[in-house]
Structure 1
Amino acid sequence: MPSGLVALLDDVSVIARAAAASLDDVGAGVAKAGTKAAGVVIDDAAVTPGYVTGFTPDRELPMIWKITKGSFRNKLLILLPIALLLSAFLPQAITPILMLGGLYLAFEGAEKVIEKLGGEKHGETLEDPIADPASFEKTRVSGAVRTDLILSAEIMAIALNEVSDETLLARAVTLAVVGIAITVAVYGAVALIVKMDDVGLHLTKKASSAAQATGRFLLRAMPVVLTVLGSVGTLAMLWVGGGIILHGLEELGVPAPAHVAHNIQHMLADAAGPLGPVAGWLAYAVASAIVGLVLGAVVAVAVHFVAKARGKAH
């Protein structure tokens, strides 16, 4: 009996050590995946405020919460199972699917550029009279969730690539942890950005002169922040979309476009001296954005042409 108890305790000890090692692997995988996905996370945080600005203050946080719930659904209920199934049974399909998502992001970014340049607008915007505010809000939230799906797919793909050698359970736990942590971080930051003006207005009513000065600063800064974020969000769609397509083509055996972008990156990085890493990153981002803009514009023109043709047919 004692020997049986000792054997049982030995088994429990082995299981505990294995579980601890698995947790360490998951923690390391989460850290690596989170670091590699940082660029896409920044893009996600820059894009989202544009979907909720311009609405009355009482609708901003409810809209962000709806988008957050949509992001959780995207990552945990749609992308996580698909990623695990594809990695197990059809890993070669991941790259083409990501490229389609990148093309959609490029299309969205190109549409915004076309609108800024005075081109035809795609659907109802905040500058137009809003006939049905509830319907318009629903449309904006749906658009944000669709964009989040593409960015989330890229985040989950990066995370999956970092833990591709782990067990299925470790991959699943890592992707779930990364998905939850990134969603909380992104939409928490978005909520703070969007409510900055309300915080500033509240501070201006305080008795403290320091609080009032801070409040006035936040109120003045808010329009600038939103303008910058709007531009960054559009650029992010283009450079992330273009970057996904360049990387996908390289993975599929068409390396020339990516090699051109990388050559430009290395050339400028070498010429910039101490600022080489920053200059190189910017060069590759610009090259990716140009690719995204060109391809996105082609898709946008095609979509508008088809829409007009269908309208005439009806």
Structure 2
Amino acid sequence: MYGASSVDLLERAEAVARSLGREREGAGFLFSRWTAHVQGLDLERSCFLADRLLEQGSASPDLVVRGYGDAAWGIQQWHLGRIGASFRHLTATASHGPSDDRSPDQVRDGLRLLTAAMLAEISAYHGKSAEARRLLDTLVAGAGDDAYATTVATCMATRVASVVGDPEWALRAADRGIAADPHFSFGFLGTYLRLGRWWALAMCGHDPGAAADNAERLIVANLTNPVRSCVSTWYALLAQMRLAAGSPGAAAVALDQADSFRDRYGQRSADGLLLLVRAQLAETIAGPDAAVRLAERARAVARRQEAYLFVQRADRFLADRAGRELGVQ
């Protein structure tokens, strides 16, 4: 991650590169600035930079410059909760982005990996979990012994598995990623790997209370000070862990934190998940009617965002509750 001084240096470096006619390098510095702002949930600033990148890329014959613009704009839309727009843009541009040129280029290869991994994650949010898993499996296999590539691919696989609700997949992906970077050298990516591992252990019944405690400490240390992308998502997943540990009061606190960070910083990619976990909590403390109302609300919000993963999960939640009622009758 970048500090404020680093972002200032990137801005100056971009200006120098452009003054020298080095378009690709200038775009790279701008992309790094966008990355710093979006990962820090400064979404107002990152929106402006994503628009600049897209405008510059659209006018450039350089595939890497175009790739920067397409990746930034598409990922930005996901952060804003515009899942359908994000998926359509990244899918449409994937065929003419930097992946066309297979000659060695470290910058382009890094951009290709990031874009493919994020497209997989966004595809899962858009309801295409099977396709996302196939792409992520391909990225993990293709990473080989490259620690960074393995960390990127397994990080995204862990994040996807967690929101899909597949703890076994999350645990396998996290363990592989952590083995590739046991010293936590890639702190931003490694945080999600370790959080996903704690979530998976809790959901599999392996001392969920201790797993939740460890996850909460990591969230506070690495995602809140300063704030980082997906903090609200991980507070919602922490609430699931607290529920698995039989602690609905602590789950409610975690969900309040999720709502607070979402409302303050504006990342809305997981709105449906937050409501679904509230439905799970309501089932525990308020009864089935309240749970059903929240699940229906989650489904409506997710459908509006085209986050069909959470529509599917809400449908399963509601079908399960309906089945239970029929069984009681």
The reply to whether TM is greater than 0.5 is: no
What is the TM-score when the length of structure 1 is the normalising length?
Answer: 0.23
Bigger RCO (CA 8 Å, 6+ sep): 1
**Greater CA radius of gyration, 1 or 2?**
1
- Between Structure 1 and Structure 2, the one with more helix by share is 1
What is the TM-score when the length of structure 2 is the normalising length?
Answer: 0.22
